[in-house]
Amino acid sequence: MSDVAPEVQKTVLHVGCGSWRPNALHKNFQTPEWREIRLDLNPGAKPDIVASMTDMAAVATESVDAIWNSHALEHLFAHEVPLALKEFHRVLRPGGHVLLRMPDLQKVAESVLRVGPSGVAYTSPSGPITPLDMLYGHGNSIAAGEHGMQHKTGFTRDSIVALLTAAGFARARAELRSFDLWALGVK
């Protein structure tokens, strides 16, 4: 028997994980100290937990150290976003944090003025992305029957910080990186 205590692993809840992809987690969570639990509404994505981000009753209160939510929050209706953020707050341990990534509405609006609604704003691994894709969801995915990919709301730096604060996060901040808005809420 060893006198060395086992290393305690932190848990990141990957909310809106989609199908497994090797680099879907933010790079900060791709280290041996982190253990991923995948949560998604779609059972076809084969998550660890099938649930909506607005009702994560299957996740115990204060049971995870971090939440990663990348390009999923915008798939909710605006009135559902506060429910999801309250659920995020509930399942986080004290001092835990949520890291969010979503389209930035201001940058999308600038892109509409620059390239038009159907012009190419940038090219992603999924192909060309237009301002309409950023506003309403990736058109090719939706046309292929992935109706869950529709965007139902949007965010600016100020709006997401206000929403995180209203959900109970002690500290909240957001910044723009290219077309993405990144937000951090600390419990």
- Would you say residue 62 lies in a domain? yes
pLDDT: is 51 or 140 the higher one?
51
Residue 3 has pLDDT above 70, yes or no: no
Within-domain flag for 168? yes
Specify the pLDDT at position 7.
62
Residue 134 lies in a domain: no
Tens digits of residue pLDDT in 123-174: 988 789 999 999 998 888 888 888 888 999 999 999 999 999 999 999 999 9
pLDDT at 2: 45
In a domain? residue 92? yes
Please write the tens of the pLDDT for every residue from 103-135: 999 999 999 999 999 999 999 887 899 999 999
Q: Please check whether residue 2 lies inside any domain of the structure.
A: no
Task: Confirm whether 143 is domain-assigned.
Answer: no
The CA distance from 18 to 43, in Å, is 9
The predicted pLDDT at position 147 comes to 85
Indicate whether 175 belongs to any domain: yes
CATH of the domain at 62: 3.40.50.150
Q: Which domain holds residue 24?
A: 10-103+153-186
How far is residue 83's CA from residue 167's CA, in Å, rounded to a whole number? 8
Q: pLDDT band at residue 1, thresholds of 50, 70 and 90?
A: very low
Q: How many domains does the chain have?
A: 1
Output the DSSP codes for 70-109. ES-GGGS-GGGHHHHHHHHHHHEEEEEEEEEEEEBHHHHH
Residue 112 lies in a domain: no
Q: What is the separation of C-alpha 65 from the centre of its chain, rounded to a whole number of angstroms?
A: 15
